[in-house]
């Protein structure tokens, strides 16, 4: 009886299974389910329900929702099927495959944050990471090696505990050329180096770009970098490599000063090893550049200040950039050896006495070398013409002359002698310094040539008095420096003292001044004055005689500055 009943049941089941499956499956495929969304006590624009077939994947939407005010939490993080979930099970943009109709509840968390992934410089992907948990990491193109955080440290974002808004930057492997000692910096278009001027982000990018062993074609784009900008390729390549990056608005900020901290961040990319970290009182552990500053300083690239600070926000100067990069590249220039060569370039604003002279020369001159314990010995030097035009140039109160793109040095041209630094010299360093100080004090670049001449004329006329001295015989040469130096020391002298001093000051302006040993008046009394050829005409300048009438006799009205000989108010004898 039981056996027959069991057989009957099996037969019925078989009949049912044979008759129903096609109709049942068709009905299942036609069944529509819905994914609904619940604000979970929050307020705002709630997404519309999504209708789909069972087993079909849907993309979960984002939502502009405000958390319930009584919760004390403030940010929408994602969705969860569990009404009480405190972390989202699904993030906006995730694929979700429902088995049946379901309601997903909004999850709010105070620790949710924005994670920005920068790939190739300015291109970025933003995601919302749930509190404390890793976000989904975008797949990198094959040429990239991995990610770095704001400090420059290599990280695995999939394992990172994200607690604040975070930026990860993709990086590629690259290296600097430490073999060839080619120039990687240069002066400005006026022929000066400007060692104390801040180096800009554009300049820093170009300098590092010039040193790369592999220079990839940049693919980064910036809102403030024209495609034809001189630094565009360098900026793009460095951002592509992850060495530099744009700001949140996609700007490169090319004209902004490169700070010490930001430069340390750039160069940390090329620092290897696990050197001991240096610490500074103004660089706490949570500083965005702390790791880079600690590593580069420990390597000896940077030094702190006597008060124990690093000053990461302080602009980096061009001279400092050269010094830091030479250390990174292992270059060891010797200032004395470089200055002794006659074939090295001259920057008038970087004399051999400047603290960064050797580093600036190393950075701006292509050369071959041999290395010894004392440093480099340059064997050959590539000539680099100055950007200054041929002729005289006054820089910082010192006079220089350029011929055929090079500064005259250790040589004489007419009445002008130039020292090893390329400066005009009287032969006396003490006198040179005194004349220089007068030029700097009484003239400036805004003055015309004649205004400068007049200012110096008035200075000599009004600051000295007469004292009988030995006369100068006609035909005597080279006497002016000795007379001028004594005149400046004692504040007194005769007509030859006045003339010698004014003549040398006029030469400091690059003018062909010379003294005349002649006579004055009907008696042809011995007298000296200065003549200068200007604009094709010869003019006379008599500082001592104008001093006599103005200060000794108290008589005004005699103008003995820039006189044509034919119109001189007195009789002069040559």
Distance in Å from the first CA to the final CA of the chain: 158
* Spatial contact of 181 and 211, defined as CB atoms under 8 Å apart: no
Q: What is the dihedral of CA 561, 565, 570, 573, to 10 degrees?
A: 120
Residue spans of alpha helices (H) in 241-356: 260-268, 290-298, 318-329, 335-339
Q: Interhelix angle for 480-490 vs 429-442, to 10°?
A: 60
* Spatial contact of 492 and 457, defined as CB atoms under 8 Å apart: no
With vertex at residue 360, the alpha carbon angle to CA 356 and CA 362, rounded to the nearest 5 degrees, is 120
CA 133 – CA 53 distance, rounded (Å):
32
Average pLDDT over residues 532-551: 96
pLDDT for res 13: 45
Collapse the DSSP code of 285 into the 3-class scheme (helix H, G, I; strand E, B; otherwise coil) and give the result. coil
Look up residue 549 and give its DSSP letter: I
| Range name among 3-17, 123-137, 425-439 with the lowest pLDDT average | 3-17
Non-local CB neighbours of 353 within 8 Å, separated by 6+ positions: none
pLDDT for res 124: 65
Average pLDDT over residues 339-365: 96
Closest by CA to 170, choosing from 232, 234, 219, 233, is 219
* Spatial contact of 100 and 54, defined as CB atoms under 8 Å apart: yes
CATH architecture of 31-108: Sandwich (2.60)
The alpha carbon of residue 559 and the mean position of all alpha carbons in its chain are separated, in whole angstroms, by: 52
Encode pLDDT of 185-213 as tens digits: 999 999 999 999 999 999 999 999 999 99
Percentage of the chain lying above the pLDDT 90 cut: 67
Domain span(s) for CATH 2.60.40 in the chain: 31-108
Encode pLDDT of 250-307 as tens digits: 889 999 999 999 999 999 888 876 667 899 999 998 898 998 999 999 999 999 999 9
| Range name among 125-134, 244-253, 337-346 with the lowest pLDDT average | 125-134
Percentage of the chain lying above the pLDDT 70 cut: 89
| Range name among 266-280, 352-366, 429-443 with the lowest pLDDT average | 266-280
CA 183 – CA 167 distance, rounded (Å):
35
With vertex at residue 246, the alpha carbon angle to CA 242 and CA 252, rounded to the nearest 5 degrees, is 120
Which residue's entry shows tokens 């006029």? 506
- For residue 37, the surrounding DSSP H or E stretch is strand 32-38
What number of other Cβ atoms are within 10 A of residue 296's Cβ? 27
Is it the case that residue 334 has pLDDT exceeding 90?
Answer: yes
Query: Considering the entire predicted model, what is its pTM?
Result: 0.72
Domain span(s) for CATH 3.10.620.30 in the chain: 448-573
Encode pLDDT of 178-187 as tens digits: 989 999 999 9
Check if CATH label 3.10.620.30 holds for domain 448-573. yes
- For residue 107, the surrounding DSSP H or E stretch is strand 102-108
Strand-strand pairing, 102-108 and 124-129 = unpaired
Average pLDDT over residues 123-145: 69
Average pLDDT over residues 359-387: 95
Edge-to-edge, what's the strand order for the sheet holding 76-80? 50-53, 32-38, 102-108, 76-80
Confidence bin at 27 (pLDDT 50/70/90): very low
| Range name among 52-56, 339-343, 503-507 with the lowest pLDDT average | 52-56
Q: Retrieve residue 164's tokens.
A: 């604040």
């Amino acid at each position: 009886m039981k056996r027959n009943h069991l057989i009957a049941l099996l037969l019925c089941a078989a009949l049912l299974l044979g008759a129903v499956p096609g109709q049942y499956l068709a009905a299942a495929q036609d069944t529509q389910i819905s994914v609904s969304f619940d604000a979970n006590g929050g307020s705002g624009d709630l997404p519309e329900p999504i209708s789909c077939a069972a087993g079909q994947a849907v993309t979960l939407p984002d939502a502009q929702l405000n958390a319930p005010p009584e919760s004390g939490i403030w940010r929408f993080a994602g969705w969860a099927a569990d009404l009480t979930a405190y972390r989202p099970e699904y993030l906006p943009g995730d694929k979700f495959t429902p088995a049946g109709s379901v309601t997903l509840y909004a999850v709010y968390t105070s620790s949710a944050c924005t994670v920005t992934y920068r790939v190739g410089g300015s291109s970025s992907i933003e995601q919302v990471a749930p509190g404390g948990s890793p976000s989904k990491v975008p797949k990198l193109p094959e040429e990239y090696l991995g990610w770095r955080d704001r400090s420059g440290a290599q990280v695995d974002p999939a394992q990172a505990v994200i607690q604040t808004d975070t930026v990860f930057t993709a990086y590629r492997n690259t290296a600097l050329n430490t073999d060839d000692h080619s120039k990687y910096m240069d002066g400005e278009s006026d022929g000066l180096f400007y060692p104390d001027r801040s180096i800009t982000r554009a300049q820093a990018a170009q300098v590092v770009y010039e040193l790369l062993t592999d220079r990839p074609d940049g693919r980064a784009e910036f809102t403030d970098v024209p495609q034809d900008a001189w630094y565009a390729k360098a900026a793009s390549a460095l951002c592509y490599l992850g060495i530099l990056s744009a700001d949140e608005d996609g700007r490169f900020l090319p004209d902004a000063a490169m700070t010490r901290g930001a430069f340390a961040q750039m160069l940390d990319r090329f620092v290897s090893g696990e050197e001991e970290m240096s610490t500074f009182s103004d660089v706490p552990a949570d500083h965005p550049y702390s790791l880079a500053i600690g590593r580069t300083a420990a390597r000896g690239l940077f030094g702190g200040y006597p008060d124990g600070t690093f000053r990461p926000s302080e602009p980096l100067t061009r001279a400092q950039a050269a010094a830091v990069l030479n250390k990174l590249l292992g270059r060891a220039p010797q200032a004395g050896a470089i200055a002794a060569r006659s074939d090295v370039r001259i920057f008038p604003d970087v004399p051999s006495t400047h603290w960064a002279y050797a580093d600036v020369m190393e950075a701006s001159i292509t050369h071959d070398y041999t290395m010894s314990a004392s440093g480099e010995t340059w064997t050959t030097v590539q000539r680099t013409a100055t950007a200054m035009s041929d002729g005289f140039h006054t820089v910082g109160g010192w006079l220089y002359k350029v011929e055929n793109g090079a500064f005259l040095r250790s040589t004489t041209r007419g009445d002008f002698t130039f020292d090893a630094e390329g400066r005009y010299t009287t032969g006396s360093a003490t006198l040179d310094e005194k004349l220089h100080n007068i030029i700097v004090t009484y003239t400036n670049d805004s003055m015309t040539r004649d205004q400068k001449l007049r200012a110096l004329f008035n200075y000599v006329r009004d600051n000295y008095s007469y004292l009988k001295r030995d006369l100068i015989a006609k035909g005597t040469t080279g006497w002016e420096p000795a007379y001028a130096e004594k005149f400046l020391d004692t504040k007194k002298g005769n007509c030859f003292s006045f003339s010698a001093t004014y003549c040398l000051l006029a030469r400091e302006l690059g003018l062909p001044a010379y003294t005349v040993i002649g006579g004055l008046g009907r008696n042809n009394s011995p007298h000296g004055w200065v003549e200068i050829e200007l604009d094709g005409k010869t003019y006379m300048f008599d500082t001592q005689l104008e001093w006599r009438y103005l200060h000794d006799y108290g008589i005004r009205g005699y103008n003995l500055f820039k006189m044509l000989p034919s119109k001189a108010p007195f009789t002069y004898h040559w």
